[in-house]
């Protein structure tokens, strides 16, 4: 942004201010400033100066005030860096934020033989916040593993379909074996996580493609529109026959129970009449 400033202007805010002068170089002022004032007797000293706010924290109530003196033309550029939230800090290259159920499904299927750890967390969960730095350290120590982060608050419907109701919660997947373990742990029980990492993190070669989510989970996600129905598994001919047999068996059992109940009622009526 550009301003027409007057000599002796003042700047107030709560960020780091760097003043650059084309003729004299630049100088830096402390990173936490309540009010900063510049007073110059020579208006030409302000020509071409730039104010750059480089702190990550947002500047609150920034104001630039100038006294009633001769006008001086200057440029002030203000840039606001976004402060990282706790679940965004210390992330490693193998830590990926999941933005949809379909992305979760695809990530698991495309992982091959690599160990995949799905980390369910919530921004408002104190246990998740306390555990986050250690999970980041373990991700750094295990670069071959994939850590998929799922924000519970953003994806409640998906978490319900996957039967995730407690946080922090973790699920481990490995190649054709699919899900190999799942559990909840905290900072105090981090050994549970480390043991699972040591057990399932060893190199191996699967005999088939990565399995990913269970069929029941895929069907549940498809039924609520979280993933495409084409992604959900279709029953094989064998499974269709089994379903028909089960349906017929259920019908036969129901008919037998009804007939048996009818006979019992008739026998009871006959005994009453006698």
Ramachandran bin of 181, using left for φ above 0, alpha for ψ from -120 to 50, beta for the remaining angles? beta
Has residue 231 got a pLDDT over 90? Answer: no
Residue 88, pLDDT score:
96
Give per-residue pLDDT as tens, 31-88. Answer: 444 444 444 445 445 445 554 444 444 444 555 555 555 555 555 555 556 799 999 9
Residue 122, pLDDT score:
98
Cβ-based neighbour number of residue 83 at 10 Å? 11
CA-CA distance, 199 to 27, in Å (whole number)? Answer: 55
Has residue 201 got a pLDDT over 70? Answer: yes
- The superfamily (CATH) of domain 86-224 is Glutaredoxin (3.40.30.10)
Residue 267: pLDDT band (50, 70, 90) is low
CA-CA distance, 201 to 208, in Å (whole number)? Answer: 18
Kindly list the catalytic residues.
125, 128
Q: What φ, ψ does residue 248 adopt, rounded to 5°? A: -65, -40
* Helix segments in the chain, DSSP class H: 101-109, 126-141, 156-161, 190-200, 215-223, 237-273
């Amino acid at each position: 942004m550009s301003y027409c400033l007057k000599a002796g202007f003042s700047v107030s805010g709560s960020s780091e201010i760097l003043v650059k002068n084309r003729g004299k170089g630049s100088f830096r002022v402390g990173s936490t400033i309540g009010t900063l004032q510049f007073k110059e007797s020579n208006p030409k000293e302000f020509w071409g100066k730039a104010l750059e706010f480089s702190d990550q924290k947002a500047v609150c109530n920034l104001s630039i005030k100038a006294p009633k003196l001769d006008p001086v033309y200057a440029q002030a550029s203000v840039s606001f860096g976004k402060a990282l939230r706790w679940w965004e800090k210390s992330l490693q290259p193998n830590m990926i934020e999941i933005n949809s159920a379909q992305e979760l499904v695809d990530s698991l299927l495309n992982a091959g033989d690599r160990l995949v750890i799905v980390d369910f967390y919530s921004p408002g969960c104190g246990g998740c916040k306390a555990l986050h730095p250690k999970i980041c350290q373990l991700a750094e120590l295990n670069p071959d593993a994939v850590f998929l982060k799922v924000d519970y608050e953003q994806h409640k419907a998906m978490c319900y379909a996957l039967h995730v109701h407690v946080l922090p919660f973790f699920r481990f997947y490995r190649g054709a074996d699919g899900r190999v373990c799942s559990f909840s742990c905290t900072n105090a029980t981090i050994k549970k996580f480390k043991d699972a990492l040591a057990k399932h993190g060893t190199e191996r070669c699967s005999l088939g493609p990565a399995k990913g989510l269970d069929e029941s989970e895929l069907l549940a996600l498809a039924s609520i529109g979280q993933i495409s129905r084409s992604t959900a598994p279709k029953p094989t001919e064998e499974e269709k026959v089994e379903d028909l047999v089960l349906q017929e068996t259920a019908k036969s059992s129901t008919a037998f129970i009804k007939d048996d109940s009818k006979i019992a009622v008739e026998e009871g009526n006959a005994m009453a009449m006698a």
